């Protein structure tokens, strides 16, 4: 499977956008409707559920990047048994724990936004937006959620005559890094810095091409992040995905700044 994008995201993408084959849309829908059962189903069981042949299932999982149905269902099983998004407190919570969990989550979101607002560097925003205005090519890199934010950034900046290029998987991001012009502007979204450690080849390529790198992160120090020209500070905590909300807030700050200062030039 393409790294950097989840099975669920790939299945939803097929359902939402199609892939030119109606049978694949139907198979994806059936898998999503029976997602928790897939690890227990043989390829013949799934084929019966989808009203297709087992060879159709084999072809389908290969379009997702898997060598076999067994590999595919094992990966689904792993997504059911490993939860990395939330803290131990939430993973072990019951319905009675919801109110205090919601309260703490909301407090963290507010604290994150307030922290980010208080640390806005307006001179830095001006430098970054000037880079956007002057850049001949712009690209955005990040892991899965960052791509969702990137699509929004891409959409809004396109309305301001600035094209942001995206890669939706590690493979496509590596290809994008190889094809982007030297001295281009690159945004890297990585709240806790994991992109830099998982994608050193991409960082090396961008550095060799002397690209201007703007990171949006909670991390402002470290060997790999030192390769960046600008680091926009975003968030104080991200223990239970609260950082995702502030990440969108930070992107909106950039969009607003660019719109006010550069849309009429």
Tell whether the torsion through CA atoms of 100, 103, 104 and 105 is positive or negative. Answer: positive
Q: Parallel, antiparallel, or unpaired for β 185-189 and 164-166? A: unpaired
The structure tokens listed for 3 are 């790294």
Q: Any idea what the Cα angle at residue 237 is, between residues 231 and 240, rounded to 5°?
A: 125
- Return the domain boundaries, the chain: 7-81, 119-262
The structure tokens listed for 7 are 């099975």
3 state SS of 264: coil
Domain 119-262: which CATH class? alpha beta
The structure tokens listed for 128 are 């970054």
pTM of the complete model? 0.79
Q: What is the pLDDT of residue 91?
A: 63
The structure tokens listed for 178 are 């190889």
113/83 Cα distance (integer angstroms): 25
- Give the HSE-up count for residue 263: Cα atoms under 13 Å, Cβ half-sphere: 12
- With contact defined as beta carbons under 8 Å apart, do 170 and 142 qualify? no
Q: What are the angstrom distances between the C-alpha of 90 and each of 79, 83, 84, 240?
A: 17, 10, 11, 8
Which among 152, 151, 243, 118 is positioned nearest to 190, based on CA atoms? 243
- With contact defined as beta carbons under 8 Å apart, do 214 and 186 qualify? yes
Q: What are the angstrom distances between the C-alpha of 229 and each of 20, 40, 165, 187, 245?
A: 42, 49, 19, 10, 24
Q: What is the pLDDT of residue 249?
A: 96
Tell whether the torsion through CA atoms of 164, 208, 202 and 223 is positive or negative. Answer: negative
- With contact defined as beta carbons under 8 Å apart, do 228 and 195 qualify? no
Q: Which fold has domain 7-81?
A: Arc Repressor Mutant, subunit A (1.10.10)
Q: Any idea what the Cα angle at residue 254 is, between residues 252 and 255, rounded to 5°?
A: 65
pLDDT tens series, the chain, 265 aa: 444 457 887 888 888 877 668 899 999 999 999 999 999 999 999 999 999 999 999 999 998 889 999 999 998 988 776 555 666 666 667 777 788 888 988 999 999 999 999 999 999 999 999 999 999 999 999 987 888 899 999 999 999 999 999 887 777 899 999 999 999 999 999 988 888 888 899 999 999 999 999 999 998 877 667 789 999 999 998 877 888 999 999 999 999 999 999 988 7
């Amino acid at each position: 499977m393409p790294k950097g994008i989840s099975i669920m995201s790939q299945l939803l993408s097929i359902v939402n956008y199609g892939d030119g084959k109606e049978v694949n849309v139907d198979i994806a829908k059936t898998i999503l409707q029976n997602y928790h059962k897939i690890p227990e189903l043989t390829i013949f069981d799934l084929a019966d559920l989808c009203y297709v042949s087992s060879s159709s299932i084999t072809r389908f999982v290969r379009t997702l990047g898997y060598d076999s149905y067994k590999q595919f269902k094992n990966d689904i099983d792993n997504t059911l048994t490993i939860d990395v998004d939330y803290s131990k407190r939430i993973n072990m919570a019951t319905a009675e724990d919801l109110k205090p969990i919601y309260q703490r989550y909301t407090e963290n979101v507010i604290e994150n936004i307030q922290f980010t607002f208080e640390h806005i560097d307006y001179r830095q925003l001006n430098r970054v937006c000037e880079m956007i205005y002057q850049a001949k090519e712009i690209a955005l890199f990040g892991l899965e959620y960052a791509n969702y934010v990137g699509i929004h950034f891409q959409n809004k900046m396109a309305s301001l005559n600035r094209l942001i290029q995206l890669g939706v998987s590690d493979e496509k991001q590596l290809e994008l890094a190889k094809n982007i012009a030297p001295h281009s502007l690159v945004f890297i979204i990585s709240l806790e810095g994991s992109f830099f450690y998982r994608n050193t080849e991409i960082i090396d390529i961008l550095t060799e091409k002397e690209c201007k790198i703007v990171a949006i992160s909670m991390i402002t120090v470290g060997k790999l992040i030192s390769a960046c020209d600008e680091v926009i500070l975003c968030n104080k905590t991200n223990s239970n995905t609260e950082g995702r909300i502030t990440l969108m807030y930070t992107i909106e700050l950039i969009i607003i700044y660019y719109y006010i200062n550069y849309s009429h030039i």
